[in-house]
Amino acid sequence: MAGRTEIFTYLCCLTDSTWGKLSGQEANKQADQSRARFISRYEEVKSYKKFEYPYFKVYVGDFRTKSEALRFLKKIENDYPNAFIREDIVSFPD
């Protein structure tokens, strides 16, 4: 892509199977609460809430390698047993 620099990053996605059964407003509220709970435990790790139709999702971390993401996933597995890793691309303007 001309004029942009892209890098691959890995994120951990925190999920809750009940979010898909809630109304949009309630699911949004649950995602906010989940993100706030995460921040209270891991304040040094970046977190993001995104709406990806039809669900709200909470992503955490900006890991440069998959092995870093796996180590963090192992660290949070007791608090977030349904979390998984997702590869993403971040674009930066030149």
pLDDT at 77 over 60: yes
Under CATH, what is the fold of the domain 4-93?
Answer: Alpha-Beta Plaits (3.30.70)
Give the whole-angstrom CA distance, residue 1 versus residue 42. 34
Write the burial class of residue 60 (CB in 10 Å: 0-12 exposed, 13-18 middle, 19+ buried): buried
Which of 43, 15, 42 shows the shortest CA–CA distance to 31? 15
Domain chopping of the chain, boundaries: 4-93
Residue 75 has pLDDT above 50, yes or no: yes
Digit-coded pLDDT (tens) for 11-63? 999 876 555 666 778 888 888 999 999 999 999 999 999 888 778 889 999 89
**Is residue 1 predicted with pLDDT exceeding 50?**
no
Q: What are 54-65's pLDDT values in tens digits?
A: 788 899 998 999
Q: Is the sign of the CA dihedral 49, 37, 12, 23 positive or negative?
A: negative
